[in-house]
């Protein structure tokens, strides 16, 4: 479950996106990172039940954004913004509730056909 302190850190980071603030709040970052890694591990376990390609992912590898090689054969597709599925999740109480992980797994299951199509098309 996502902790309230993680959401607070992310909001504070968005308002103070500079190195000095980050260095002063490194312990909060570490705690938020641990929380998000554990949450990603839970999601991977649940989504892996219906998507084999997800089951073996290391949670640490998906907590941070990663770049792609400029010569990657699908780099132009990776720049597209049209492939989106989203839900409005602005209630902090829901985001930190025990129901949120189950809800999120349900959303992932609903969007799985799109993910499978994109995976087949881009790979």
Is the pTM of the predicted complex or chain greater than 0.75?
Answer: no
**Residue 94: strand, helix, or coil:** helix
How much is the pLDDT for 2?
A: 87
Euclidean distance between CA atoms 1 and 80, whole angstroms: 30
Please enumerate, as own/partner, the contacts of 107-113 that have beta carbons within 8 Å and a separation of 24 or more: 108/43, 108/46, 108/47, 108/51, 109/47, 109/50, 110/85, 111/85, 112/50, 112/51
The two tokens of residue 75 are 């780099």
Model confidence over 53-104: pLDDT tens digits? 889 889 988 776 555 566 766 666 656 656 666 777 777 888 888 888 999 8
The two tokens of residue 21 are 């603030």
Model confidence over 29-40: pLDDT tens digits? 999 999 999 999
3-state per-residue secondary structure call for 103-120: HHHHHHHHHHHHHHHHHH
């Amino acid at each position: 479950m996502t902790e309230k302190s993680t959401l607070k850190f992310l909001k504070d980071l968005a308002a103070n996106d500079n190195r000095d603030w980050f260095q002063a709040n490194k312990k909060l970052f570490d705690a938020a990172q641990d929380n998000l890694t554990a949450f990603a591990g839970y999601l991977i376990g649940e989504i892996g039940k219906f998507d084999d390609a997800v089951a073996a992912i290391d949670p640490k590898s998906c907590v941070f954004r990663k770049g792609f090689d400029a010569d990657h054969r699908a780099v132009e597709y990776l720049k597209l913004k049209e492939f989106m599925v989203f839900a409005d999740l602005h209630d902090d109480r829901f985001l930190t509730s025990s129901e949120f992980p189950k809800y999120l797994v349900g959303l992932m299951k609903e969007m799985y056909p799109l993910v499978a199509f994109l995976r087949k098309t881009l790979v």
